[in-house]
Structure 1
Amino acid sequence: MGTKTERRPAPRAACGRKAWTAALLSLGILAVGAPAVVAEPAGGSGSAATCGLRNQRHQDNLGNSFTVDLYCDNLATDVLGRSAFNAPVTGRLKLSPSWFVCWTEGEAPPGQTKIWYYTQGDEVVTQPGLKAWGVVPARVVQTPRHPYPGIPRCAWV
C-alpha cells in the first residue's frame, strides 16, 4: 500500500540530445516492465477483463472480517469514507485489478447505479487510522452487473 516513485530524466539543458533520448527510452522500458498497471477501462486494451470471486480473507481496521472478495479490473479513483460523493477521501485506488469485499447503496448521478463497493485503497490520503478503507462507486469496478452476484452486502447497512 505504498506510493509509487517515478524516475525523471535530468532537465534538457543538463544533457545532450542522445542522453535525453536514452532517458526517455529508459522510462518507457521501466513503464512497460512494471508488474502493476495503472487502471484502464476494461475495453481499452482489447484483452478480456479480469473479474471473479475468490475465497480470500480480509479484515479492516474496524474489526470487520470478510471471507470472500471480488477481484476485478477497475478505474483509478478516490476511496471515500461513505457512499456519498462529498465524503472524505480516505485513500486512492491506483492499480488494477483490485479486490472488493462487499457492497452497499448510496448516492448516484441520474441514470447510474446506486451500488458502491467496500475496499482498501492502494494509498492512504486522509484519516490514516482508516488505512485507506472505504467505498468506491460501482461505475469504476469493471463488472457486467452491479452488485456482482455472490459478493455479500455490507453488514452495516
Structure 2
Amino acid sequence: MSRSRTWTAATVSAAALVLGAALPASGEPRTASAPCVTREGVEHVDWTGMWFDHDVVCDNSPSELRLQTYPTSPVVSRLLSTRSWFVCWKTGDPPPGGNNFYYYTQGDVIVDRPGAKGWGYLPGHLLHVDSHPAPGVPKCRWA
C-alpha cells in the first residue's frame, strides 16, 4: 500500500514537471494556440452605453482588467477565462515586459468600480496572438 502511494506521488510530480515545462513563465508572451474567431451579430453594450455588434474570441492568459490603458490604472475586474471575447483595442503605456496594446472586454469577476460593470482593458502581451493588433479586432472608436 505504501509503495502504491509513493508511485502515485512520483507520477503526479513527474506529470506536473512535464506540464510545467510546457507553460511559459508568468508574464511572458505566448504565441497563439488557436486562431482568433470573429463572431458577427453578437451584441455587447459597455457601461458607457457604447454598443458593439460583433466580437473576436482569442486565447488569453487570465489577468486583471484595468479601467484605462496604463499599468497603474485601477483594476476593475478579473478575466478568469483562457479563451475570451474582445470588442476592440487601443494603445497605451506598456506594462513591465509588455507591449503598448490593450484589448477591451468585460471581466468575469468585478473587483472595483461596480459602475464600470467589469469592462476594462487586458494588456496585449496576455493575448495569445502572433502579432498586434490581433486579427479581426477593430481599433476602439475612442482611441
The TM-score range, normalised by the shorter chain, is 0.7 to 0.9
- CA shift for structure 1 position 150: 2.6
Q: 2:105 aligned with 1:95, yes or no? A: no
- CA shift for structure 1 position 126: 0.1
The aligned counterpart of 1:74 is 60
1:37-52 correspondence runs (5 A): 48-52=33-37
Aligned mates of 1:50, 1:124 — CA distance in 2: 28
- CA shift for structure 1 position 53: 1.5
Give aligned-pair identity as a percent: 40
- CA shift for structure 1 position 111: 7.0
Q: 2:91 aligned with 1:144, yes or no? A: no
The aligned counterpart of 2:109 is 123
| Partners of 2:68 and 2:120 within 8 A in 1 | yes
TM-score (norm 2): 0.72
Asked which structure has the greater RCO (Cα within 8 Å, sep 6+), the reply is 2
Change (3 A) 1:111 1:74: closer
Bigger fraction of residues in strand: 2
Gaps of 5+ in 1: 1-20, 22-39
1:23-68 superposed Cα distances (whole Å, 9 cap, x missing partner): xxxxxxxxxxxxxxxxx8797xxxx425221112111121101112
C-alpha RMSD over aligned residues: 2.5
Q: 2:62 aligned with 1:86, yes or no? A: no
Aligned mates of 2:122, 2:65 — CA distance in 1: 5
